[in-house]
Structure 1
Amino acid sequence: MSFFASLTDTAYALVRPLVHATDGEAAHNLTVAALEPLPRARRALTSPALATDVAGIAFPNPVGLAPGFDKDARVAHAMPHFGFGFVEVGTLTPLPQAGNPRPRLFRLVEDAAVINRMGFNNGGQAAASARILRQRHHDFPVPLGINIGANKDSADRIADYAAGMAAMGVLADYITVNISSPNTPGLRALQDRGALEALLDAVGDQQDDRAPVPVFLKVAPDLEPADIDDLVKVALDKRLAALIVANTTVSRPTLRARHAEEAGGLSGAPLHDLALQRLKDFRTASGGTIPLVGVGGIATAEQAWARIRAGASLVQIYSAMIYEGPGLAARIARGLEKLAERDGFARVADAVGVGG
């Protein structure tokens, strides 16, 4: 693990009781504000065993930052310091929006979980574009994904995604089409086959044929088998670059914390089993013909390794950092290196989809 990540983990252990005594959203905003002045990272955590290629993009290691942490692309420049092999910002909508009323972010400490109903709160794509341009003016040591969504009150949500692609595609190493948040009413209906085909056609129309940007699709874990089959067929037909499995869940396993019944999407440890199963389902449905990104409830190298062996080419984390500290990505990446060696793989990428 990098010295920087180790140092910040030590500091976080000291202040964590104070952080957890603070409103979740306020603590998050303070964290982003503290990270923003950091110098840009000049190198990535990598090794021959960790480096991988997905959708024609070179990833120094397979551990990424999930969207939601850096909604407005304020701290992407600093996140490789913590061991991340790629960073995904957003969700960004065409127009700024305040999101849902507060409180809207709840820690479930006893469950190592989070419930959020943020509602795509962000400052809009134009403001984020200016920040990303400044960051990308210099060499950026890891791939940058940009997650796009639709405004809540939009009269034409498909047009919003097309606008997002037009505005952000030129700035991104990949674009994620997020139609799986449970916190914008009606958004998940865009996962229906007909609506999804129309949406992806509209997004595709905004591609630069000379330099098309890979398009990833983020799906919900709350899907039926027929939904999975349809999504895979559309993904293959529209030549999507990857599927991200999965977003937060509206289901409620047994939880202990007092905020367990709050409305919104559940993430963290209780999502682990469902997200892993959905990844396996998508791997089976696709026969390994489309890359998968595993996300949801990953807090250890062993859990990330299980996701990779189940079919994930990349993994993402966010909620677990609240409980495990900011050095988690570096610990997972170095742990994956050791697990690959233990199991006889020269590279972590060689274990994708081997089962186990």
Structure 2
Amino acid sequence: MAGAAYTRLVRPALWRLDAETAHHATVVGAGLLGRWPLTRALTTLGGYAVGPAGGPGDPVELLGLRFPHRVGLAAGMDKDGRGVAAWGALGFGHVELGTVTARPQPGNPRPRLVRLPRSRAVINRMGFNNQGVHALAARLREAREAGLVTVPVGVSIGKSKVTPVEEAVGDYLESVAALRGLADYLAVNVSSPNTPGLRSLQDAAPLAELLGAVVAAAAGTPVLVKLSPDLSDAALDDALEVAVGAGVSGVIATNTTLARDGVLGGDLAAAAGQDGGLSGAPLTLRAREVVAHVAGRTALPVVGVGGVMSGADARALLDAGASLVQLWTGLVYRGPALVGEAVEATSAARGTGRARG
């Protein structure tokens, strides 16, 4: 019922807008839903998703945190934490805000978000557009003090575009300091394709320096590192060795891809010449491969992200070795009903796959 309402009513209205305007409207709407107790309650009861309290779920203890179930909102949807009070009511078992940077920045020139409907995909070259870590920290502090945070909240941190790569460590550490006591975990984003030079931080030496410094400064807050699906198996192994040595608590696999494999013919013209990271259905199999590779080579918990377009896709990531899954692009095509479907599928998968935790 809820899925049909989204497909027939909500999505056509949103898709009359350009992709970024629709995205912004969704986040603003989430912020409004989360503002008052009545609207939060109606959101939970609206049937779009499985609420974190009551309903099916697969509670899991991980990273020193208790997750009501295994399905979360991926970074990129709510960079500035505007909807932090609503995402739990919509059924997510955790939320990853950001990616946020130490300095406020406008991001790349528009248009910078492109739908590929036949491929069920999105090309994103937003470029970490956000109000800066201090604005996010203030918003998150206010939500926590008001008792509006109902599920674990992580924050993805990245490098400010104006900061030279050789000064990246200090830039990340400013974000760590601003979020101390506010984020349940930190995700170090070194894999976005949309900030010049950022992916070079996945190389062994700079990654070791960065992760070591962030882990030390986080002072017990779990630190995860988010890796690119475009890394070779050998490069993934090198990054994992560095991450384990630095003392990180987990790995997020994966980010968006620069590859265009899986883009269907009807979308090729729209995708031609479009820079940025591809997400959605074309990334489904590659994300699963990377999760399986990472899970097979480390005992660290793995958060599986990429191409979750159905409950079956979420379950497949658990079967590949993920402990938690996250989604975002699937919401564009399926709406919030996808969350409930994924929760049910991953709950049914409990004890049947390789899922950890």
Would you say same fold, with TM above 0.5?
A: yes
> Which ranges of structure 2 fall in alignment gaps of 5 or more residues?
42-50
Equivalent residue, structure 1, for 2:34: 39
CA contact (8 A) 1:220 1:245 kept: yes
- Give the distance between the partners of 1:13 and 1:95, measured in 2 at CA: 40
Which deviations, in whole Å up to 9, do the C-alpha atoms of 1:46-79 show, x marking residues without a partner?
A: 6685100111111001000001110100001101
Which residue, 147, 166, 169 being the options, matches 1:158? 169
Runs of 4+ in structure 1 deviating by more than 3 angstroms, as ranges, are 6-9, 39-43, 45-49
Superposition deviation, residue 204 in structure 1 = 2.5
Specify the code of the residue in structure 2 equivalent to 1:302: A
Equivalent residue, structure 2, for 1:107: 115
Which residue, 77, 95, 98 being the options, matches 2:85? 77
Which residue, 227, 232, 236 being the options, matches 1:219? 227
Equivalent residue, structure 1, for 2:47: none
CA contact (8 A) 2:141 2:182 kept: yes
| Identical positions, percent | 41
Deviates more, 1:181-190 or 1:147-156: 147-156
Equivalent residue, structure 1, for 2:313: 303
Equivalent residue, structure 1, for 2:214: 203
Equivalent residue, structure 1, for 2:354: 353
Equivalent residue, structure 1, for 2:194: 183
- Give the distance between the partners of 2:334 and 2:189, measured in 1 at CA: 26
Superposition deviation, residue 142 in structure 1 = 0.7
Equivalent residue, structure 2, for 1:143: 152
CA contact (8 A) 2:215 2:247 kept: no
Distance verdict in 2 for CA 1:134–1:7, change over 3 Å: farther
- Give the distance between the partners of 2:120 and 2:57, measured in 1 at CA: 30
Whether 1:94 aligns to 2:102 is: yes
- Give the distance between the partners of 1:44 and 1:322, measured in 2 at CA: 22
Superposition deviation, residue 166 in structure 1 = 1.1
Number of residues of Structure 1 aligned to a counterpart in Structure 2: 336
- Give the distance between the partners of 2:4 and 2:90, measured in 1 at CA: 10
> Which ranges of structure 1 fall in alignment gaps of 5 or more residues?
1-5, 341-347
Whether 1:293 aligns to 2:293 is: no
Superposition deviation, residue 140 in structure 1 = 2.2
Whether 1:16 aligns to 2:11 is: yes
Whether 1:320 aligns to 2:330 is: yes
Which deviations, in whole Å up to 9, do the C-alpha atoms of 1:251-304 show, x marking residues without a partner?
A: 111423132221100000000011111111112222xx1100101001111111
Equivalent residue, structure 2, for 1:193: 204
Which deviations, in whole Å up to 9, do the C-alpha atoms of 1:310-346 show, x marking residues without a partner?
A: 1000000000110001221122102323x33xxxxxx
Secondary structure of 1:266 counterpart: strand
Whether 1:334 aligns to 2:329 is: no
Whether 1:252 aligns to 2:267 is: no
- Give the distance between the partners of 1:154 and 1:325, measured in 2 at CA: 36
Which deviations, in whole Å up to 9, do the C-alpha atoms of 1:126-152 show, x marking residues without a partner?
A: 111111011111152210001101111
CA contact (8 A) 1:12 1:326 kept: no
Superposition deviation, residue 7 in structure 1 = 4.8
Q: TM-score, normalised by structure 1?
A: 0.90
Distance verdict in 2 for CA 1:352–1:196, change over 3 Å: farther
- Give the distance between the partners of 1:11 and 1:44, measured in 2 at CA: 21
CA RMSD of superposed structures (Å)? 1.9
Whether 1:233 aligns to 2:236 is: no
- Give the distance between the partners of 1:45 and 1:223, measured in 2 at CA: 38
- Give the distance between the partners of 2:353 and 2:78, measured in 1 at CA: 28
Secondary structure of 2:271 counterpart: coil
Specify the code of the residue in structure 2 equivalent to 1:126: H
- Give the distance between the partners of 1:79 and 1:216, measured in 2 at CA: 21
Matches within 5 A, 1:119-138: 119-137=127-145, 138=147
Equivalent residue, structure 2, for 1:242: 250
Distance verdict in 2 for CA 1:98–1:236, change over 3 Å: same
Distance verdict in 2 for CA 1:244–1:294, change over 3 Å: same
CA contact (8 A) 2:301 2:322 kept: yes
Specify the code of the residue in structure 2 equivalent to 1:182: P
